[in-house]
Structure 1
Amino acid sequence: MNCKKGLITLLFCSLVFLAKAQEKIALLEVGEGWAKNSVNAVIFRKNSLVSYKNYQFIAYYDADAFVVLGKRKQGKSTWELQKTNFKGNASDAHNSISIMIDGDGFLHLSWDHHNNALRYAVSKAPFSLMMGEKQSMTGRTESNVTYPEFYRLPNGNLLFFYRNGASGKGNLVMNQYDLKTKKWSMVQENLIDGEGQRNAYWQACLDSQGTIHLSWVWRESADVASNHDMAYARSKDGGKTWENSKGVAYQLPITAQNAEYACKIPQKSELINQTSMVADAEGNPYIATYWRPANESVPQYHVIYLANQQWQVSNLGFRKTPFSLSGVGTKRIPISRPQILAWSSKKNTLSAMLIFRDAERGDKVSTAITTDLSKGNWQIKDISETSVGSWEPTYDTELWQNKGDLHLFVEKVDQADGEGKVNIPAQKVQVLTWKAVKKIKTKEQNK
């Protein structure tokens, strides 16, 4: 093939893809949110947005650090907003807000946690923004909570994950909410045990069969440079029992000694914690993260995935700028942690999308898409026109699972290194909507 002609064809196909994608992308304005750090836009919010039946809900801190809740009818652009009486220490970027809707339509809210007592409330009625008083869940192991995350099971019950303890010496706790009794029970008080020497920073997902997939990196101290390895476990009975990828049962709690390792990654590899994972229709897990490969200077995005019962690693390899990841607190990092989505595009192939932000690309909302994960050939595109600062991606997981539409929480935020805050005014909270992502074709499919 003539090289010049081939280059022109590639460029044309890429532009066609981008044009078709942009036709399906829109921004919905919600309100104004706290932007002095990244607390509204950290990746471990589960969830910032959530849909159920005909409604979508959102939560964020306003300029005065009060929790604001919102809802809209699907297909409508206007939001009903409710400023709550709940206030958080928004100056600490760990203290994110997480929400979920249970199978009866009640909104569950948890906010403002970094090694402190549980803060949790439920709406007074289904699909209501009016919240009840702050309450306990189980009354056990609730005095030292960090990283609250909700997940909805296929039967409408909820799961709630959180860390009990501190960075470098914490354990993973798991509760379940029962629709019939409207009560929480503790499923695991110490699912992953740091044994007083380390803690697990996890990411989780539920597949279409209700299997819980869990992966994590270990951290040996408060210093992020001590992150290492990627471990894996799954549960097919709502979290009561756990097994590795080959179906071998774990003796609980899971420790550094008995964990299955999907990928061994040394300390001081610029390995980030708390990223994202997803599972395909067959229940195979895919984990997105970043680290610096051995004997290289630039941290790269990677996808760790299970194929034919073997763990594989795909290095996207497109980044060019080195950086060092070390120290304590919330770091100011030139790239965001990545979200991953995956879907079957054609027989025996899997399409995947990473959503991220990178200073190399002007800190815009960016995507990397491949129509065949086994082959790579990632196509990198920006889907926002302006910078989003220190933003990290979170999305409406329920809407994605049910309709294949991608709705991202977007707000331009800033983050001082080592936890501090930046003196900037409140910024617009928006929802970026991208319809029918699973049907969009890349240049490989257009050939």
Structure 2
Amino acid sequence: MRRYVRCKIKAATRPSLHCLVKTFMASILQACTVLFFCQSISQATAQLIVTPVHDMVLDSNALVMPTSGSFGRILNGTTFQQEALITHGGYQYTAWYHNGSSDEDIFVSRRDLSGTTWETIDTGSGLENGDATASSDSRRWDGHNSISLGISGDGRIHLSFDQHVDELRYLTTDPGFATSASNIWNQAGFKPERDALNVNGAQIPKVTYPRFTNVGDDLVFTYRDRVSQDGDHYIATYNSQTGIWNAPHQFTDGRLGSYTDETDPVGQEPSLARNAYLNGFDIDTQGMMHITWTWREQATNANHDINYAYSDDAGVTWKNNAGVGLGSIISLNSPGIKIVDLNYQQALINQQGQVVDQEGRVHALMRHRRQEPGFEWQPGDATYDTVDAAYHHYYRDPVSGIWNVNRLPVDEPVGSRPKIGVDPNGNLLGIYRSGRNLIVAGAEKTINGFTDWQILYKDETDYEGDPLLDPVRLTEEGILSVFLQERATTSSETIPTGSPLHVLEFNISEHVETTYYLQASHPGGTSILSAELWFDAPTGGTSLADLNGYFPGNIFVVDGLNARTPSTSGTSVFAGTLVLQGTSPQLINHTGTNISISRMVVNSDTLFGQRVDGQQATIGELELNAELLIRQQLDPGGDAAFVFDEISGNGMLKFGLNTQDIDNHWGFDAADTDGDFTGSILLDKGILQFISSDLELPLATLQILNVDANSQISLVSDATFKAFQELNANNLGVVTLSVAPGTYTAADLNTLFGTTSRFTGSGTLTVLIPGDFDGDGDVDGADFLEWQRNDGTPAGLAAWQSNYGAPQLLAASAATVPEPSAILLIVFGTSLLVNRGYKNFTRETHLHETHL
């Protein structure tokens, strides 16, 4: 079963708002003629939200190799694939090995980005070199023989596959085939396989780790020649105008220079050969090529150092980190290429994550031993130990050449080798597998660099292999596409099996979170109050002044003054407290997706509108301090439009005024269970249903006002309860129910409303004396204690003070609490002490595989 765990991480730690943001405290200050203004903006950061959108199964029987295979069982989804997913011309493309009955053919598939339907071709070519059942006795199941996919600007598809120190296997198509019509998209579009880049060209005898990288409309092909600890890299360029590859030329050499590690025993011979294991081969917006890599020496099965070089002439010559020329060949002897010094003991794995962002920053996401004290190497530690390892983000300033590093959180165990991508706003996303779970982490771009990385999402499906992403789709559209295969449920030492292969898609949305510090002046001194606001990224210019008011707590506002769910950037819903404040802010749902808010506070006239389409908005607790108008803008036939668990406050709740909806439900699951809603409810259409107590006002029939309650409904005597009354067959009138304190049955209500209303059922309506918080029919000291425990509002305190002693004061209660005038003095003094102690706080910053 698939489980999704959303991790919502705050970007900063804030001072406690427990006492500062209570509406009770705010009202006390306002009673002292408080003037509010924005003193300073303490912090403005962003929060990335990762929302799953699609889970597309490419193949329910994608190849999983036998347990006797070398270097793992997974071929579909390996860290050295570049790329597994490609966006081109309005389509997304991928390729994988299928587990056939007698073969492991390569399937190539595409989908129109507007949908989720994939068009799949069996190319007829498949796994041979990496298949132990093939004709050659020397073959073995080999996890290195992955597929690399490329698409050039002329619409030609390129595949290089099934190579681990093997001759080139290369498939291509005619130009334009990638975006051809569906009736042309078939196996016939692929040309005969060849062992040379050009038709009748020179054979390439030894290929490992092929990569295709786009340079504008052209394509670069890189690969390793020779073997793992004695390897060279070559590069060739495809011209999309001519359809011809140039001759490959070498750009790294594994035999120049000798290496002695600082951890080598005294007298050990130096290593004389090595291979550069590339993290990636990326092109920036200026056409410059960038590579980062680690060296693996011939003398030991371990990696060392992180290195960097770039080329500004299409790979003909290279430069080091300082911009000094290195010539055409990079080697261990090349000066200025090492950017991180890591010896054999640092558990450095190779072939990890790399990307270049829109501003030319080079990013490498690397797994190695933690570098802080307490994680030093100990005798007996494995070469690629993960217990003391973590993921580290290295990034280069394109102007100064300075490299910075941030460690990713260690909340989840270190797992597979990571990949990294960048979204349209320059924010970074990292993906990796922790155990059997997919992890998505993120770091937001800031003026000074990047925020601390946070784990944003965890998918607890049973996965295997290395998750790979579509860099173009993420950078251009802000959508994270992940290629990842499930762990097979069966296994054999000699026979391959299959498992589902997925493309997962996530929306990446960004909320700019700003903490404002407000100064409140009053006769008794100065109070500092704190509030949070969230804005959707497209409206980053929205300021506190735009909301016209004082903010007593957590305020989440997206898309300007209109809080929209889903927002324009995703399908996220609200969680936590939503405070609607100022001049008519709005909460609008545009798509019919459910809204879920644990607590909503309304402190100003507010329009809360929704298009329902059969869905609903669920509000855990509504604190209504002003008028709240709820409309269903479209779809008159919607059902269960709004559900409230509890309502408090003294405002007016109005449903459906001046709208076309006539039969919608406005639901209360356990509304007003404490009897602390002292406001009024006004409906003109629809059904108001107290779900837990079966109270219905079926006004859509225009005939019956029905009460069938199994528990009492309470109002206070100075509140109004407005509902429609039947005047005749065609007309309704609004009647205000205003009655003295007491308890009323359905018959009593019929008498009060007149003969044209019909209340039925066994429920009761209890009208309380204002200030009678314990509901015992009088206002005494016990009610003040109840106010302290469950109400705490200035309005409630005023009601208790005004009606203290009604209908009679109990002497026992009077002796236990002070008089109302003394209470106010205590409350005001407490507010000064609490505010004086306020301080502002800031947040503390804070695979055992081997490759051949």
TM-score (normalised: structure 1): 0.83
Q: Distance in 2 between matches of 1:83 and 1:116?
A: 23
Q: CA deviation at 1:223?
A: 5.5
Q: Counterpart of 1:236 in structure 2: which amino acid?
A: D
What does 1:115-194 correspond to in 2, within 5 Å?
115-124=165-174, 126-127=177-178, 128-129=185-186, 130-135=189-194, 136-137=196-197, 139=201, 142-154=204-216, 156-194=217-255
The answer to whether the 8 A contact 1:35-1:412 is kept is no
In structure 2, the residue matched to 1:71 is 110
Q: Is the partner of 1:34 in helix, strand or coil?
A: strand
Q: Distance in 1 between matches of 2:322 and 2:253?
A: 19
1:316 to 408, 425, 449: 408
In structure 2, the residue matched to 1:324 is none
Q: Is the partner of 1:63 in helix, strand or coil?
A: coil
Q: 1:344 to 1:58 in 2, by over 3 A?
A: closer
1:366 to 415, 429, 439: 439
The answer to whether the 8 A contact 1:339-1:354 is kept is yes
What's the CA shift string for 1:63-120, capped at 9, x where partnerless?
A: 1321111112121211111112212125311000011111111110111010010000
In structure 1, the residue matched to 2:148 is 98
Q: Distance in 2 between matches of 1:243 and 1:80?
A: 43
What does 1:294-313 correspond to in 2, within 5 Å?
294=371, 296=375, 298-307=388-397, 308-313=400-405
Q: Is the partner of 2:476 in helix, strand or coil?
A: helix
Q: Is the partner of 1:393 in helix, strand or coil?
A: strand
Q: Counterpart of 2:170 in structure 1: which amino acid?
A: Y
The answer to whether the 8 A contact 1:339-1:355 is kept is yes
1:273 to 347, 350, 356: 350
Q: Counterpart of 1:300 in structure 2: which amino acid?
A: A
Q: Is the partner of 1:402 in helix, strand or coil?
A: helix
Q: Counterpart of 2:205 in structure 1: which amino acid?
A: S
Q: CA deviation at 1:403?
A: 2.4
Q: Is the partner of 1:110 in helix, strand or coil?
A: strand
Q: CA deviation at 1:422?
A: 8.5
Q: 1:429 to 1:343 in 2, by over 3 A?
A: closer
Q: 1:190 to 1:141 in 2, by over 3 A?
A: farther
Q: Is the partner of 1:401 in helix, strand or coil?
A: helix
Q: CA deviation at 1:408?
A: 1.2
Q: CA deviation at 1:182?
A: 1.1
Q: Counterpart of 2:191 in structure 1: which amino acid?
A: G
Q: Distance in 1 between matches of 2:344 and 2:394?
A: 18
Q: 1:385 to 1:422 in 2, by over 3 A?
A: farther
- Tell which structure's C-alpha radius of gyration is larger: 2
1:83 equivalent in alignment to 2:122:
yes
The answer to whether the 8 A contact 2:231-2:274 is kept is yes
The answer to whether the 8 A contact 1:41-1:413 is kept is no
Q: Distance in 1 between matches of 2:394 and 2:47?
A: 26
Q: Distance in 1 between matches of 2:226 and 2:75?
A: 20
What's the CA shift string for 1:314-351, capped at 9, x where partnerless?
A: 22251576xxxxxxxxxxxx611111123575xxxx53
Structure 1: stretches of 5+ with no match in the other structure:
7-15, 322-333
In structure 1, the residue matched to 2:281 is 204
Alignment length (residue pairs)? 408
The answer to whether the 8 A contact 2:424-2:476 is kept is no
1:440 to 486, 510, 522: 510
Q: CA deviation at 1:235?
A: 1.4
The answer to whether the 8 A contact 1:290-1:301 is kept is yes
In structure 1, the residue matched to 2:476 is 402
Q: CA deviation at 1:2?
A: 6.1
Once the two structures are overlaid, the 10-residue window that deviates more, 184-193 or 91-100, is 184-193
2:456 to 381, 384, 387: 381
Q: Counterpart of 2:417 in structure 1: which amino acid?
A: R
Q: Is the partner of 1:76 in helix, strand or coil?
A: coil
Q: Distance in 2 between matches of 1:82 and 1:337?
A: 30
What's the CA shift string for 1:213-248, capped at 9, x where partnerless?
A: 111100003864x20101111112221221123221
Q: Distance in 2 between matches of 1:120 and 1:236?
A: 28
Q: Counterpart of 2:190 in structure 1: which amino acid?
A: M
Q: Distance in 2 between matches of 1:181 and 1:300?
A: 46
What's the CA shift string for 1:343-379, capped at 9, x where partnerless?
A: 575xxxx5322111112xxx21111212247464221
Which gives a bigger RCO, structure 1 or 2 (Cα 8 Å, sep 6+)?
1
Q: CA deviation at 1:432?
A: 0.9
The answer to whether the 8 A contact 2:347-2:368 is kept is yes
The answer to whether the 8 A contact 1:167-1:222 is kept is no
In structure 1, the residue matched to 2:80 is 44
Q: Counterpart of 1:149 in structure 2: which amino acid?
A: R
Q: Distance in 2 between matches of 1:145 and 1:33?
A: 24
Q: Counterpart of 1:341 in structure 2: which amino acid?
A: G
Q: Distance in 1 between matches of 2:224 and 2:430?
A: 26
Q: Counterpart of 2:401 in structure 1: which amino acid?
A: Q
Q: Is the partner of 1:189 in helix, strand or coil?
A: strand
Q: 1:413 to 1:377 in 2, by over 3 A?
A: same
1:62 to 98, 118, 123: 98
Q: Distance in 2 between matches of 1:370 and 1:172?
A: 32
Q: Is the partner of 1:407 in helix, strand or coil?
A: strand
The answer to whether the 8 A contact 2:409-2:454 is kept is no
Q: Distance in 1 between matches of 2:410 and 2:89?
A: 40
2:50 to 4, 15, 21: 21
The answer to whether the 8 A contact 2:295-2:305 is kept is yes
Q: 1:282 to 1:181 in 2, by over 3 A?
A: same
Q: Distance in 1 between matches of 2:282 and 2:493?
A: 31
TM-score (normalised: structure 2): 0.45
Q: Is the partner of 1:357 in helix, strand or coil?
A: strand
1:110 to 118, 135, 160: 160
Q: Distance in 2 between matches of 1:377 and 1:95?
A: 36
Q: Is the partner of 1:210 in helix, strand or coil?
A: coil
Q: Is the partner of 1:398 in helix, strand or coil?
A: helix
What's the CA shift string for 1:126-178, capped at 9, x where partnerless?
A: 22453111121165571111001101111x11001100011100001111111
Q: CA deviation at 1:3?
A: 5.9
In structure 2, the residue matched to 1:356 is 432
Q: CA deviation at 1:387?
A: 2.0
Q: Distance in 2 between matches of 1:273 and 1:222?
A: 16
Q: CA deviation at 1:384?
A: 2.2
Q: Is the partner of 1:173 in helix, strand or coil?
A: strand
Structure 2: stretches of 5+ with no match in the other structure:
1-13, 20-45, 66-72, 132-140, 179-184, 257-271, 376-386, 515-532, 535-555, 557-852
Q: Distance in 2 between matches of 1:173 and 1:131?
A: 25
Q: CA deviation at 1:309?
A: 2.2
Q: Counterpart of 1:306 in structure 2: which amino acid?
A: R
The answer to whether the 8 A contact 2:82-2:149 is kept is yes
Q: CA deviation at 1:434?
A: 1.9
Q: Distance in 1 between matches of 2:55 and 2:321?
A: 39
Q: 1:376 to 1:21 in 2, by over 3 A?
A: closer
Q: Distance in 1 between matches of 2:221 and 2:18?
A: 54
Q: 1:178 to 1:395 in 2, by over 3 A?
A: same
